[in-house]
A and B are shown apart, each in its own frame.
Chain A
């Protein structure tokens, strides 16, 4: 098995273009949710969101497509793919991926629907060829592969909010098994009015803000955007002089087998244990856990229960959810939170949860309440996702310093 390094990361949220801006945004605790710019939400239970105004991104998307020599037209109709392109180019740049690497690079993308079929569905079949030919669930990955001229395999995962971790795990398997030396993985998603209506119907949305793990939490706030990671064989990375930001040391996937919309803790417990075993570490090695933390009463309670099962009733590891600052990015949430986990690992800091004032009793985890970042000193972080149908995913990232000389030599 090859060691899988993360050599590039990229992100786009409503309030942050790029990972540096994202990190600063998380530390700043500013920018509350606002009404969606893409549809009228006044009839809904909530009209709050972290939804991006696609018009504001178009110039930069145009510039990238122009530079890469791609076809701009599809990106006008499918902003989801454009968001993915923005995050992807940032990750590729940081990883120093050039034309040579791209010929072997595969892509594995997560999305829920990303609005890829909606335009066609709403046109009643009367649409332009650009819309028709991209009206498939896998079109964002395909467009990115075409625009960036990626020569490796192209895959798309759509399994609710676990999609991001599923797509990253698939890339991890391809690289660790030596099928391809380098993969672009992550997620891009766009909140459609139908998603907004659906989560409102489920009464899963908060009328004001998302307060993960707060005693007064009332639900989630939806957002959209993208996050991408460059995963590569450590030996391949070293050979071309790329700098590992982190090592993806393990991943876990599981199902609860319980309920379509209500989670249960045992599935997440198994996913976390799988990721820990795959990483060859114990719970004491983990310094921070980026939780799914949607801010719904059910999710956060179950997640705490699962964390206590794995880490112990008296565990004091730092936990947080970043959904109170960026929203719930659906299919791309797992990828964004993986990026945030790596940023936290590299900075040794858990950003504050801007909307969380007082957490549930009955646990001893360290939680960064509003106004207080939490420093931590550890070489491992974990990122968890839960999705509809009781699907669960867990990733563990290690600091590059955890690489032994032996591992480096073996890879080279």
Chain B
């Protein structure tokens, strides 16, 4: 922990997510292993289907399935926050998204139209929807979020980058609050791509579509309106490197989160699907525990599956929202680890707030 609570702390006041349920489709890729002829199956589980055409014409034309889902989560978040729309709208509210594959499912549709029907059949509105910042823009317009607004597509670290941007903006007074969205949305072709790459990496997880939304604010602003604090962000670090360099940077980043390690701390492990990275993290965790023990949790992956660029934020929502899902939720102080398959990673350090954890997952 860095110090006593300060007015300038960045705190999480709302955290929601949408996950696949039993009604959602599943894409399966079967793999015959080379050794022993064993077969294995990996899956991508999709979010429940949304029929946009059942919405009113204006909404159905305006939204993609993804942007509509984000819109529904924002509605939920706003209602829960107790903030009046007139307070929430305006230049004091920023908006940032993080995703590994962004709006590629929509982009792919543009390609299909182009190849099948020719360039003149490309629809201007559909083209605008294929921009990776579309889910942000369309909802930013709806809720009049006029502060900084950017979309990040940094592979598996996108969610950490997004929360880093949010913290940057609040710290530097660019705005007072930031909505952070992290998502992965796959078409069947994209699902096949993700699973094929995973197979080539000998990855061990199945994947999920997911959307997480957080509201980050400054402690003083939340306390002045009597709002609840779910967690305080103790630090965010992103880093690069591979191999031994990555190992050193991950350990240094974890160590840098708290000046003196709190006695009751825990780590949400990345438990990367790539065995080498998983082993690397285990080595780092061994070094990290040299002076004091901590609890370890595999986070959202063990329960739901891997969600790539959205995983770190999903872990955060999981941590804040699901006390009964895991027995290792006692610590007040947590670090969430995130590693990219190719290079680098990020860590988020947090201390749970007075309200503690909620059960909304």
Contacts and interface: CB of A to CB of B under 8 A. Distances in A.
Q: Range of interface residues on chain A?
A: 35 or more
Interface centre among B89, B108, B151 (most CB of A within 10 A): B151
A118 B153 CA distance: 16
B128 A154 contact: no
Interface stretch (B10-18, B68-76, B233-241, B296-304): B233-241
Contacts of A202: 124, 127-128
Contacts of A44: 119
B100 A198 contact: no
Contact of A255 (B111, B127, B149, B169): B149
Of the candidates A173, A194, A254, the one having the most CB atoms from chain B within 10 angstroms of its own CB is: A194
A270 B168 CA distance: 18
Residue from B147, B171, B241 with most neighbouring chain A CB atoms (10 Å): B241
A151 B245 contact: yes
A156 B98 CA distance: 10
Contacts of A193: 114, 119
Nearest to A259: B141
Most buried by A among B130, B192, B343: B343
B147 A254 contact: yes
Given A44-B119, A197-B114, A154 B240 contact: yes
B237 A179 contact: yes
B6 interface: no
A19 to B, nearest CB: 26
B150 A389 contact: no
A267 B137 CA distance: 13
B119 A200 contact: yes
Query: Which interface class (under 10, 10 to 19, 20 to 34, 35 or more) fits B?
Result: 35 or more
A145 B246 CA distance: 13
A213 B134 CA distance: 28
Contact of B132 (A137, A139, A196): A137
Interface stretch (A3-11, A158-166, A228-236, A371-379): A158-166
Interface string B159-182: 001000100110110100000000
B255 interface: no
Interface stretch (A125-133, A219-227, A353-361): A125-133
Contact of B152 (A145, A157, A200): A157
Interface string A238-266: 00000000000000111111111100000
A151 B153 contact: no
B189 interface: yes
B138 A389 contact: yes
Given A194-B122, A201-B127, A255 B137 contact: yes
B108 A117 contact: yes
A387 interface: yes
B216 to A, nearest CB: 15
Interface string B294-322: 00000000000000000000000000000
Interface string A170-199: 100100010100000000000001101111
A255 B95 contact: yes
Interface string A129-151: 10011011111011001100011
A197 B111 CA distance: 10
Contacts of B155: 136-139, 142, 154, 156
Contacts of B122: 194, 197-198, 200-201
A254 B148 contact: yes
B146 A136 contact: no
B200 A132 contact: yes
B107 A113 contact: yes
A95 to B, nearest CB: 18
A327 interface: no
A260 B138 contact: yes
A293 interface: no
B343 A154 contact: yes
A201 B124 contact: yes
A44 B146 CA distance: 35
B61 to A, nearest CB: 11
Interface string B104-125: 1001101110110011101111
B193 interface: yes
Contacts of B131: 112, 158-160, 388-389
Contacts of B94: 253
A390 B134 CA distance: 11
A193 to B, nearest CB: 6
Contacts of A199: 127
A179 B249 CA distance: 12
A136 to B, nearest CB: 6
A141 B154 contact: yes
Contacts of B171: 177
A120 interface: yes
A158 to B, nearest CB: 4
21 contacts: A117-B107, A122-B111, A132-B193, A137-B102, A137-B153, A142-B155, A142-B342, A145-B344, A152-B240, A153-B157, A158-B131, A158-B151, A160-B131, A160-B133, A173-B165, A194-B111, A253-B147, A254-B147, A388-B133, A389-B141, A389-B149
Given A117-B104, A257-B144, 4 more contacts: A113-B130, A125-B192, A136-B101, A389-B136
Interface of A: 43-44, 103, 106-107, 112-113, 117-118, 120-122, 124-125, 129, 132-133, 135-139, 141-142, 145-146, 150-160, 162, 166, 170, 173, 177, 179, 193-194, 196-203, 252-261, 267, 270, 274, 278, 387-391
Which 3 A/B pairs are nearest by Cβ-Cβ distance?
A: A389-B137, A198-B127, A137-B153
